[in-house]
Structure 1
Amino acid sequence: MITIDGSEGEGGGQVVRNSCALSLVTGEPVRITNVRARRSKPGLMRQHVTAIEAACAIGNASCEGLSVGSSELTFRPGRVIPGDYHFAVGTAGSTGLVLQTVLMPLILAGRPSRLVLEGGTHNMLAPPFDFISKVFLPVINRMGPRVEAKLVRHGFYPRGGGRIEIDIAPAPLAPVDCIERGQLLDRSACAYFAGLPFDIAEREIKAAQRGLGWNDRECFVRELPEDQGPGNILLLEARFEHGTEIVSGFGELGVPAERVAKRAVGRMLGFLESRAFAGPYLADQLLLPFALAGDGRFTTVKPSQHSLTASDVIALFLERRCAFEPAGDGSHLMEIR
């Protein structure tokens, strides 16, 4: 059995998600202590419990210590069974993070699967649905599988209530190289809002347009049905020949719209000034599929502690490491060793 101290490295929930996914793929049981020890609220949250419950359901697995607030768990995998599954977080906890836990095992399971996930689709602590569907899944589809994602209903913090549907046509993961992103083809900034004053989204998009220097055609506001709110997100999208980057800014109580936009604009400008294929959040998500493929490379910005911790967890299960080497232009090359 592999034992992991969850307080080491980045010390967050990614250790739990990647460990359960890798346990299902390799058949190796895992014990995790000090779960999320570096978070302001340590231990498992509702979305982590749902993610582990999902892993148990698809993989005939058992888990000791599976409760909200638990700081230690032992996960014992069984055989992954493809099929139709429905999982509800029950809060605004991220549906995307539940997906991250079960996607790779189902991709490698040999037969198609369908997932219906309910909970948060757009919240501050996880990549929004748009990032998953437009940035992450296109790379996975280049590797052989076909994964299609549909957003049925938005779910914002704190209400939740969102719904996404995922169809998975499995295939072995083939190594790919994602070195060059190519020419910029299109860009857009959109402020979504639901159940909130129009003024909030309007101020966000105006601040984003000033900061980015983009034109009126590229910047717009979109109102969602009131019953899907209250909620607000600013999405900045840059589409290149070989990939896409999306940067998000979430409206928060007491935080001016202009500040939300300024943060997002700064991150997008930083990415546009680099030559990297993957931003920091895409790099995090690509490590597991690239490691499971056994080879492949991509360029990214400076690796985060999140990515370095993920690399350490992967090495425990697969005896291969996701290594980052700085390049002369300020980007980093990730390759499997």
Structure 2
Amino acid sequence: MTHKKTIIIDGSKGEGGGQVLRTSLSLSMLNNQPIEIRNIRAGRKKPGLMRQHLTCVLAAQQISNAAVEGAELNSQYIKFTPNAVEPGEYEFKIGTAGSTVLVCQTILLPLVLAGRASSLKLHGGTHNGMSPSLTFFEHSFLPALQTMGISCQVKTTKLGFFPAGGGCWQIDIDPTDTLSPCLFEQPGLELEQQSHCKAMSIVAGVKNSVAKREIEEAKKRLGWNAPHTEILNCAAHGQGNSFHLSVGHQNQVAMFEQMGELGLSAEKVAERTVDALKAYLNSGAAIEEHLADQLLLPMVLAGKGSFTTTQLSSHTTTNIDVIRQITGTCIKTQQLNDKLWKVFLD
């Protein structure tokens, strides 16, 4: 048996955060490629593996029976040598409010392509303001993946807001052999349409009046009289509030979110969310920048695809670099105007 040469990855490249780690682990498992990552999260105030990042490594190790060096808190180095990914039932606990969504995304695609169904149960943060929330994952990311032939079902037991964490949810993953191309070039709605706009406020241990103020402020700032509105009272380990605006329909949904914080008024929460939504609507893009970053890896696995997005975030450009280094695949980008980019793979 021929052993592949270990690829050495500089974790300080680009935005120097956890994205390099997560993409590298995913591609290592998908390609049975040994990797070394040095200078992990060198661009962060506290470099090295935090609890969430360590859980990503340990989850990847478990599903692929990998040989791992350096898997400990604060480590800035790991060596990861995977074996075949084994589908099955798994449970992972972060122990903090760190993002369970990012842990899930690290191992999701390897399990999708592993040949049999899998089920993951995750414990930790679901809404922390520093990463895509479980709401975004379920209502924007997974619908986009569905167009590519990936089917998953989420069941939520309890949300986990920052700083308490304590969330618990499960995802059931259906297997597939091949992915359809990722194709999102046209906006999911005309700018003047309101029928596919939704304002949603999630509250746990927070007064409904906060949620109502967020929704009313958003409607006023958007000049929309009757978007679909919803207040969700959810079970959570601690108190929390998360406000969401989404546009689009079916499998193309752009979602914008803002966490409620102590000292931040409901009106300010709504204002920030509206500003992000307006910038997206004015661009004419099909995909907003956070989802754009998350679609790169499935697009590469499909072997073809394209989408338009508002801007190339540092997460996106870093991800493109890591994918090129590990797979040799060159994702192309083209600036169409000052607000719009095209990202594609021939």
TM class by shorter-chain length? Answer: over 0.9
- Where do 1:110-259 residues align within 5 Å? 110-171=115-176, 172-183=178-189, 184=193, 185-215=195-225, 218-225=228-235, 227-240=236-249, 243-259=252-268
TM-score by length of 2: 0.92
Tell me how far apart the structure 1 counterparts of residues 282 and 78 of structure 2 sit (CA, whole Å).
42
CA contact (8 A) 1:135 1:245 kept: yes
Deviations 1:250-290 (A, max 9, x none): 01222233222211110011111122111001001000010
Question: Displacement, 1:19?
Answer: 0.3
Residue identity in the other structure for 1:153: K
Partner of 1:132, secondary structure, is helix
Calculate the aligned-residue CA RMSD, in Å. 1.7
Per the TM alignment, residue 199 of structure 1 is displaced from its structure 2 partner at its CA by: 4.1
Of 79, 83, 91, the match for 1:86? 91
1:96, CA displacement in angstroms?
0.4
**Alignment correspondent of 1:6:** 11
Q: Residues 29 and 75 of structure 1 are in contact (CA less than 8 Å); yes or no, is this contact kept in structure 2?
A: yes
- Which SS does the other structure have where 2:342 is aligned? strand
Compare 308-317 and 128-137 and name the one that shifted more.
128-137
- The runs of at least 4 aligned residues of structure 1 exceeding 4 Å deviation read none
Is the contact between residue 95 and residue 120 of structure 1 (CA under 8 Å) also seen in structure 2?
Answer: yes
What is the alpha-carbon distance in structure 1 between the residues aligned to residue 181 and residue 172 of structure 2? Answer: 22
Deviations 1:212-261 (A, max 9, x none): 22225634433334x54311100111123651011001012222332222
Provide, for residues 174-197 of structure 1, a one-character-per-residue CA deviation record: whole Å limited to 9, x for no partner.
223211234354112122211234
Change (3 A) 1:174 1:241: closer
Going from structure 1 to structure 2, the CA distance change for 1:83 and 1:251 (only over 3 Å counts) comes to same
Q: Structure 1, residues 283-308: CA drift from partner, whole Å, max 9, x if none?
A: 01000010111111111111111100
1:259-278 residue pairs with structure 2 within 5 A? Answer: 259-278=268-287
Deviates more, 1:232-241 or 1:261-270: 232-241
**2: CA distance between counterparts of 1:314 and 1:9?**
13
Q: Is the alpha carbon distance of 1:241 and 1:97 closer, same or farther for their aligned partners in structure 2, counting shifts above 3 Å?
A: closer
Q: Percent identity?
A: 43
Structure 1 residues 320 and 219: alpha-carbon distance in aligned structure 2, compared to 1, 3 A threshold? same
Distance 2:343 2:59 in 1: 30
Q: Is the 8 A contact 1:275 1:329 kept in 2?
A: no
How is 1:269-288 mapped onto 2 (pairs within 5 angstroms)? 269-288=278-297
Contact 1:161 1:228 in 2 (8 A): yes
User: For the residues of structure 2 that align with 1:81 and 1:191, how far apart are their CA atoms?
Assistant: 38
Structure 1 gaps of 5+ residues are: none
Q: Match of 1:312?
A: 321
Aligned-pair distance for 1:113?
0.8
**Corresponding residue SS for 2:196:** strand
Q: How many residues align?
A: 336
Q: Which moved more, 1:287-296 or 1:211-220?
A: 211-220
